[in-house]
Amino acid sequence: MEIDIKTVVLIIGITRLMQVFVFYHQYRATSNLRGPGWWVMWSAADFVGSIIVLLRSLPAFLPYVIIFQNVIIASGAVFVYIGVMSFFEKKVSLKVICLLILTYLILHLFFIYIIDDVNIRTLLLYITISVSSFLVAITFYRNKTRAIFLTANLNAVIFTLRGVIYGVRVVMILSGIPSPRMLAPDNLNYLIYFDALIVGLLWTFGFIILLNQKLNSDISEAKTHFEHIFNTSPDAVVITRLGDGMFVDCNESYYKISGYTKADISGNSFLHFNLWKNPEDRAKLVNQIDETGFCENMEVLFQRKDGEVFTGLLSAKKITFNEIPHIMSVTRDITDRKKAEENIRHKNEELHKTNVEKDKFFSIIAHDLRSPFMGFLGLTEIMAEDVNSLSKDELSTMSKELNNNAKNLFNLLKNLLEWAQMQRGTTSFNPIVISLSAVISRNIELIAKWAEQKGVEILNEVTEFQTVYADEAMLDSIIRNLLVNAVKFTEHGGKVIIGSKESTNGTLEVFVKDTGIGMSKALSEMLFKIEEKVGRKGTDGEESTGLGLLLCKEFVEKNEGKIWVESEEGRGSVFYFTIPANMQQLI
């Protein structure tokens, strides 16, 4: 039975049209792979070429068929080569390809309109198909990998066979055997057309298998990379079911950061463990995942297996396995970072405090230290210029003022010196057992004359047997400053009482009570604060800087005590401080 050559060409056209749809689907499905797009163009070119071949039987179309037929079929062969090179991510110079196709077109037209020779036109076509087929076979052979070894070899054999078939036709034409008309029922035509049909189908299946193997290989490689990243990540990664918190997978870092083992969590739910210090944090995370699908940089307190609490920076995203929503979370232990941030914050606060103290210190030097000297200068200037005209009473008054200024200046300088030493950390701290009553008596004697001049009575109610464990120099400064303040703000005829009582925690509570002018609640709350300016004049106009109370606070706290005041305007003040009653309190 004779096979109709047109039927064969029509079947080839139909298969090429099917290949267009197949490769277009592959092109859309594998957009990350290069190559399928060119194979779509090859299938389309062969489909158009088959239609043009069928139009040869129509005389009206023959002139156009002669022009376009071979050019389109040759271009399809080139598209296959470009697609294979692109698939293996090899560089192809499209400029060179376009130049070769243009050269082919010029030669093809030359042998139509200048020298009309169908054999040479056929020779050019077969050379193009044969050379491109051998180039494709070589490309498969050189670039095959273990994942596509068999398929690449199969495709290399198919294209080698195609190159040989068209190479034999080239040799036959060069040997003088003319090429039959394209629709003539000739054995050579059957060979060419069945090659186009059968070999074309074979390499189509080969390309599809090749794409699938490449995709599987890429997926397997990506999975291996993901597992490597998953398991070697320094951050804890865990995948759990969204609904019930069931563990699905986690990496080694998760075991290290949580303290749990694989046996502990396998087949269990997140909810069975006390991993979240505050369970409401997980509820908040789940709600956010439900609403937005992700969560970024959420600070959460977690609890290790041994109960140790740490701070984790958590990011999570909703993923789907088998149509079931899951949560993949990544947690970084930022406990050390939080401690460092807290340390920096604390250092900044200390720096701010130091700057404030420095400003206070210079303010005192610039202003308060100048006032006593101005008094000195004024009085000494009067005495120097008018000493002969001054009466005995006037000289006596001036002498008393000079003495008061000298005392104020001495106390201020002493406090400034002690304050500076304290801030520089050069103040020595040597706690010993001392008689509290003796320290108080010694300091009362220092201000007794001044108190007597003001008519202020000072009573020491501390028993002579009462001892404390403290630094003697610091305790001296505390007692002296509190007594000076009490006398300073007590009017003539007033009273200052200093006493003590034992506290329940093994400390001694010392108080200095006066019947002076007292202070408002707002003013009392400003005491002991370096950033506040609380200096005010005493009842006889004595200068005050507030520095003495700051020293008291520093020294009391250095001795593990605390200081506070109770006062009411017009009804006097009571200053309290605690001090260890025995040596064991500071050990």
Whether 140 and 244 share a structural domain: no
Whether 186 and 286 share a structural domain: no
pLDDT of residue 587: 42
Provide the pLDDT confidence category of residue 152 given band limits of 50, 70 and 90.
Answer: confident
Q: Nearest CA to 447 among 389, 418, 419, 408?
A: 408
pLDDT of residue 389: 72
Whether 86 and 221 share a structural domain: yes
Across all residues in the chain, what is the average pLDDT? 80
- Per DSSP, the three-state class of 294 is strand
pLDDT of residue 282: 80
CA distance 576 to 531: 22
10 Å Cβ neighbour count for 136? 25
Look at residues 298, 333, 368 and tell me which one is the last residue of a structural domain.
333
Whether 170 and 262 share a structural domain: no
Amino acid at 248: V
Task: Answer yes or no: is 420 within a domain.
Answer: no
% of residues, the chain, pLDDT over 70: 82
pLDDT of residue 497: 93
What are residue 367's phi and psi, to 5 degrees? -110, -60
Q: CATH no. for residue 543?
A: 3.30.565.10
Task: Answer yes or no: is 391 within a domain.
Answer: no
> Tens digits of per-residue pLDDT, 309-341?
888 888 888 888 777 888 888 888 888 888 888
Give the domain extent around 151: 5-228
Whether 529 and 572 share a structural domain: yes
Q: Extract the tokens encoding 348.
A: 């900044």
10 Å Cβ neighbour count for 331? 24
Of 160-164, 188-192, 257-261, 504-508, the least confident? 188-192
CA distance 363 to 388: 39
Whether 239 and 194 share a structural domain: no
Which string of DSSP letters, residue by residue, matches 395-445?
A: HHHHHHHHHHHHHHHHHHHHHHHHHHHHHHT-----EEEEEHHHHHHHHHH
Mean pLDDT in residue range 362-384: 63
> Tens digits of per-residue pLDDT, 525-546?
877 776 666 667 777 777 666 6
> Tens digits of per-residue pLDDT, 238-296?
888 877 778 878 888 888 888 888 787 777 777 677 787 887 888 888 888 888 888 88
Look at residues 164, 198, 228 and tell me which one is the last residue of a structural domain.
228
CA distances, 457 to each of 483, 567, 569 (Å)? 11, 19, 20
Mean pLDDT in residue range 108-133: 88
Say yes or no to pLDDT of 513 above 90: yes
Taking the whole predicted model, whether its pTM rises above 0.85 is answered as no
Whether 201 and 256 share a structural domain: no
Whether 186 and 304 share a structural domain: no
- The helix-helix angle for 36-54 and 5-29 (nearest 10°) equals 160
Taken in order 417, 419, 420, 426, is the CA torsion positive or negative? Answer: positive
> Tens digits of per-residue pLDDT, 41-79?
888 888 887 788 778 777 787 778 788 888 888 888 888
Task: Answer yes or no: is 116 within a domain.
Answer: yes
391 backbone φψ class: left, alpha, beta (φ>0; ψ -120 to 50): beta
Q: Nearest CA to 483 among 463, 505, 460, 509?
A: 460
Say yes or no to pLDDT of 188 above 70: no
The domain tally of the chain equals 3
pLDDT of residue 134: 92
Which string of DSSP letters, residue by residue, matches 505-562?
A: TSEEEEEEEE-S----HHHHHHTT-TTS------TT-----SHHHHHHHHHHHHTT--
CA distance 500 to 483: 14
